[in-house]
Chain A
Amino acid sequence: GAVVSQHPSWVICKSGTSVKIECRSLDFQATTMFWYRQFPKQSLMLMATSNEGSKATYEQGVEKDKFLINHASLTLSTLTVTSAHPEDSSFYICSAREEGHPGGGNQPQHFGDGTRLSIL
């Protein structure tokens, strides 16, 4: 089945550091990937939609200059948290949908295992 890989699994860094998280579709191509954030005891909240070869679409309230998204190829999207601060500490999760499938647009999204970011 479709596999989405996320790296790293966890990051601990100092306040003010920029952190890059990678999301790869291992056995399929994805022109669109999604980035979510999840705070403790809360549900997943969509941050942005990553589009291969074009600008990402951000949800309301998400700062595009803070959370830089690059989708340079059909199998890789990156999220960079710039100048991270303690309030950015969270669980970041990406997803992608297998495209070109005979089932069309109802095919499910598959998620990575997430990246736990802790800013000290």
Chain B
Amino acid sequence: DAKTTQPTSMDCAEGRAANLPCNHSTISGNEYVYWYRQIHSQGPQYIIHGLKNNETNEMASLIITEDRKSSTLILPHATLRDTAVYYCIVRKPNFGNEKLTFGTGTRLTIIP
């Protein structure tokens, strides 16, 4: 699976949009981009995933560049409860190789 690069930490004001970047320049054609977050002392929570089209759900939007070498997770109206470590993971949809490799992620702090 391709390697991802994320900023170590970010701050965002409460109520503003939080934009979390992820670089995955070595992504291959059939690899999906997944985003998870981990709030302190809890298990990771699935947020969203996509292949090449932009995706939106009740939690966030995922914007993937046309060349698929980078993506941005957007939390449209950040709240204090969005403070967490956010992980961007690239993985092939392979039934025989489903393990997720977590990097260090981005520690997002929402400031009141």
> Which of chain B's residues have a CB closer than 8 A to the CB of A112?
43
Q: Assess the B45–A111 pair: CB atoms within 8 A.
A: yes
CB-CB nearest in chain A for B91:
A106
Q: How far is the CA of A4 from the CA of B103 in the complex (A)?
A: 22
Q: Assess the B101–A106 pair: CB atoms within 8 A.
A: no
> Which of chain A's residues have a CB closer than 8 A to the CB of B38?
44
A residues 44-99 touching B (CB-CB < 8 Å): 44-46, 49, 91, 93, 95, 97
Q: Assess the A97–B98 pair: CB atoms within 8 A.
A: yes
Q: Assess the A46–B101 pair: CB atoms within 8 A.
A: yes
Total contacting residues, chain A, CB less than 8 A: 25
> Which of chain A's residues have a CB closer than 8 A to the CB of B87?
43
Would you give the shortest CB distance from A44 to chain B, in whole angstroms?
Answer: 4
CB-CB nearest in chain B for A1:
B46
Contact of B105 among A36, A43, A46, A108 (CB under 8 A): A43
Residue A102 at the chain B interface, CB threshold 8 Å: no
Q: Assess the B93–A34 pair: CB atoms within 8 A.
A: no
> Which of chain B's residues have a CB closer than 8 A to the CB of A4?
43
> Which of chain B's residues have a CB closer than 8 A to the CB of A43?
87, 102-105
Q: Assess the A44–B102 pair: CB atoms within 8 A.
A: yes
| Residues in B lying within 8 Å of A, measured CB to CB | 32, 34, 36, 38, 41-46, 49, 51, 87, 93-95, 98-105
| Residues in A lying within 8 Å of B, measured CB to CB | 4, 6, 32, 34, 36, 43-46, 49, 91, 93, 95, 97, 104-106, 108-114, 116
Question: Across chains A and B, which 7 residue pairs bring their CB atoms closest together, nearest first?
Answer: A105-B93, A111-B43, A106-B93, A44-B102, A108-B46, A43-B102, A114-B43
